[in-house]
Amino acid sequence: MAPSLAAAIALGFGIATGAYVAERDTWPSALERARREGWRALELTAIRLERLEGLVRLLADDPDALDGFERVSVHAPANDVRADPATIVELVRHLPYDIVLHPDIYRGQGWIRELGSRAVFENMDVTKGFGRDARDLSEIFRALPEAAFCLDVAHVRTNDPSLALGHDLLDRHGGRLRQLHVSGIEPDGAHRPTTDADLTLYAPLLERCGGVPWLLEAELAEVEP
């Protein structure tokens, strides 16, 4: 059985609002649940443009909406970027949080330099054509030397079930590490609840990543309060 919520928080886990299937499209509901469950590290999963727009409106209307969370990041849109890049740029550039970016989508976009160290690139899953390994991320970091790194352990798994790729990513880019993404995952990249077996498999990578939040992108399976 996966650890209790209290134990997970004590271990360094946080929550990404995208893990909340019922609440993830409604910011007040997602934030209320995360606060009720006691998470201290939070990623706001604005994976679609409409979610990002809603988040910006919420923060404008209620500047205290994120009070009580010790560390906050925002996952930038990954689905609408090419359709409406200018809107996303204007919404993201003024948020005072780390911005998590997909390298296959945001590669070569000069405005990201404005984010400085708040630009955080994650490694991609097996379905993506770029951003899956240390060499691809080296290209990103050469262009954006202030940018940081998010290790997505589940994405590593889809590319290399042995997880040796994860150790290579940490060997090459661990000095930039800002946070982790952790979840259960299917071979095709579909997220599923995070099981105890998943966490046991990931343990050698997690042990190398103390001091940064481990953000759950899928809820813990069979968890007790």
Q: The domain that contains 147 carries what CATH number? A: 3.20.20.150
76 domain residue, yes or no: yes
Average pLDDT over residues 35-43: 97
Average pLDDT over residues 16-22: 97
The total number of structural domains in the chain stands at 1
224 domain residue, yes or no: no
Give residue-wise pLDDT tens across range 73-107.
Answer: 999 999 767 667 788 889 998 899 999 999 999 99
Give residue-wise pLDDT tens across range 116-170.
Answer: 999 999 999 999 999 999 999 999 999 999 999 999 999 999 999 999 999 999 9
Mean pLDDT of the chain: 94
Q: State the pTM of this model.
A: 0.95
What string of H, E and C letters represents the secondary structure of the chain? Answer: CCCCHHHHHHHCEEEEHHHCCCCCCCHHHHHHHHHHHCCCEEEEECCCHHHHHHHHHHHHHCCCCCCCCCEEEEECCCCCCCCCHHHHHHHHCCCCCEEEECHHHHCCCHHHHHHHHHEEEECCCCCCCCCCCHHHHHHHHHHCCCCEEEEEHHHHHHHCCCCHHHHHHHHHHHHHEEEEEECEECCCCCEECECHHHHHHHHHHHCCCCCCCEEECCCECCCCC
Quick one: pLDDT at residue 6?
Answer: 83
Quick one: pLDDT at residue 95?
Answer: 94
223 domain residue, yes or no: no
131 domain residue, yes or no: yes
Q: Answer whether residue 59 shows pLDDT above 90.
A: yes
Q: Answer whether residue 224 shows pLDDT above 70.
A: no
Structural domain boundaries, residue 204: 5-216
225 domain residue, yes or no: no
